[in-house]
């Protein structure tokens, strides 16, 4: 029995894994970034790409090596070596993936806590969704109402309270990297700190009916002063019907929280600030 050329295999894996990860790190996969959460998530993607590249390279190198080295010669009808296993090797290839995924899990947990941390000076914006339109309420600015256009101040955290009037929708601005479903009957929240001024699109990502692919809204991130001016210029108030629904939703949410023994859920803690005129 010939010994395996371990060094060659490891080097080939290392070389092709490095090449693959370098190639895969060149494109900006997630697109432009425009929130404080984005760099952290993008870094996490890069880390995952590098680890994945080496694993994929390892599998391919091993497969290619086996196919080149042990592909049968024509006419050879004999069998391979009767190797049934190797306990040490099996322990190794159980433990290494275990450590990798646990590491990735802990890393994800840390990042998750980080991007969901709430700031003290965060403002609240209500996001109402129905087939197939987005509308926005600004409870801290006299419950002003905007249809199809959302403005938020730059460099200040906004907690979006997500409401749905009919079916489930989902709130996603790709440049912010944050997504959360608008669920009828409860209020969910999405926490974002935009850090770039500009125009973006709010995309509905939960199938909501025939108009799903057209359910978009414009998002404008601007300076605090511009934002204040824009909100002031809005001349409509959130319609009674929406507030009623939102309040009902809050009531249900409160009951649910009381039932769950105060587990910090997806819901609203600052209930008092919601929908105040």
Partner 1 sequence: MAAAIKQPGWYRGAIGALLGAAFGFFLVIGLRALMGLDIYQTEQTGYPHIVVPLITAPFGFLFGFGAFDYWFRWAAGKPTIPDDHSAHGATKWQDYFKFNTDHKVIGTQYVVTTLMFFLIGGLLALMMRAELASPGSQIVAANTFNGLFSTHAVIMIFLFIIPVFAGLANYVLPLMIGAPDMAFPRLNALSFWLLPIAGIIFIASFLAPGGSFDAGWTGYAPLSTGAPFGQSFFNVGVQFAGASSIATALNFLVTIITMRAPGMNLWRMPLLVWANLSTSLLVVGATPFVAGAQFMVLFDRVLGMNFFQFLEGGDVISYQHIFWFYSHPAVYIMMLPGFGIVSEIISTHARKPVFGYRLMALALIGIVVLSYTVWAHHMFVAGMFSWLRVPIMITTLLIAVPTGIKIFSWLGTLFYGKIHVYSTAMLFALAFIVTFTVGGISGVMLGMIPLDIHVSDTYFIVAHIHFVLFGGSVFTIFAGIYHWFPKMTGRMYDEKLGRIHFWGTVIGTWGTFVPMHWIGMDGMPRRVADYASQYGDWNLFISVFAFILGAVQLVFFYNMIVSWRFGPKAGDNPWRANTIEWQVSSPPPVFNFDEIPRVVGGPYEFGTPGARHAIMGGETAAEIPEPKPTTVTAP
Q: Which of residues 128-157 bind partner 1 (CB under 8 A)?
A: none
Nearer to partner 1, 48 or 236 (CB): 48
Distance CA 35, CA 254 (A): 30
Can you tell me which of 112, 197, 220, 231 binds partner 1, judged by CB under 8 A?
Answer: 112
- Across 240-260, b (16+ Cβ under 10 Å) vs e yields eebbebbeebbeebeeebeee
Q: Can residue 30 be called a binding residue for partner 1 (CB under 8 A)?
A: yes
Can you tell me which of 124, 183, 191, 243 binds partner 1, judged by CB under 8 A?
Answer: 183
Give the footprint of partner 1 on residues 62-101 (CB under 8 A). 62-63, 66-67, 70-72, 76-86, 89-90, 93-94, 97-98, 101
Q: Can residue 22 be called a binding residue for partner 1 (CB under 8 A)?
A: no
Report the Cα–Cα distance between both ends of the chain, in Å, rounded: 82
Q: Is the dihedral of CA 91, 93, 94, 98 positive or negative?
A: positive
Q: Can residue 177 be called a binding residue for partner 1 (CB under 8 A)?
A: yes
Residue of 5, 3, 53, 1 lying closest to 25 (CA atoms): 53
Distance CA 190, CA 127 (A): 10
Applying CB under 8 A, which part among 29-37, 133-141, 147-155, 236-244 lies near partner 1? Answer: 29-37
Distance CA 67, CA 70 (A): 6
Minimum gap (Å) between residue 171 Cβ and partner 1: 9
Nearer to partner 1, 38 or 238 (CB): 38
């Amino acid at each position: 029995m010939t010994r395996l050329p371990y060094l060659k295999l490891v080097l080939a894996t290392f070389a092709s894994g490095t090449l693959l990860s370098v190639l895969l790190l060149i494109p900006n996969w997630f697109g432009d970034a425009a929130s404080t959460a984005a760099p952290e998530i993008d870094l996490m993607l890069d880390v995952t790409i590098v680890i994945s590249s080496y694993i994929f390279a390892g599998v391919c190198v091993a497969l290619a090596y086996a196919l080149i080295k042990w592909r049968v010669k024509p006419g050879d009808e004999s069998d391979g070596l009767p190797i049934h296993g190797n306990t040490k090797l099996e322990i190794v290839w159980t433990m290494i993936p275990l450590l990798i995924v646990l590491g990735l899990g802990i890393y994800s947990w840390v990042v998750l806590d980080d991007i969901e941390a709430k700031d003290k000076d965060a403002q609240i914006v209500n996001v109402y969704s129905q087939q197939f339109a987005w509308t926005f309420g600004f409870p801290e600015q006299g419950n002003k109402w905007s249809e199809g256009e959302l403005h938020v101040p730059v460099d200040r955290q906004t907690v979006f309270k997500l409401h749905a009037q009919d079916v489930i929708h989902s709130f996603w601005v790709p440049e912010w990297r944050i997504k959360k479903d608008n669920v009828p009957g409860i209020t969910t929240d999405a926490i974002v700190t935009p850090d770039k001024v500009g125009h973006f699109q709010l995309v509905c990502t939960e199938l909501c009916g025939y108009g799903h692919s057209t359910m978009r809204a414009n998002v404008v991130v601007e300076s605090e002063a511009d934002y204040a001016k824009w909100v002031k210029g809005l001349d409509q108030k959130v319609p009674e019907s929406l507030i009623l629904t939102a309040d009902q939703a809050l009531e249900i949410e409160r009951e649910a929280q009381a039932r769950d023994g105060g587990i910090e859920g997806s819901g609203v803690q600052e209930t008092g600030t919601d929908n105040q005129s």
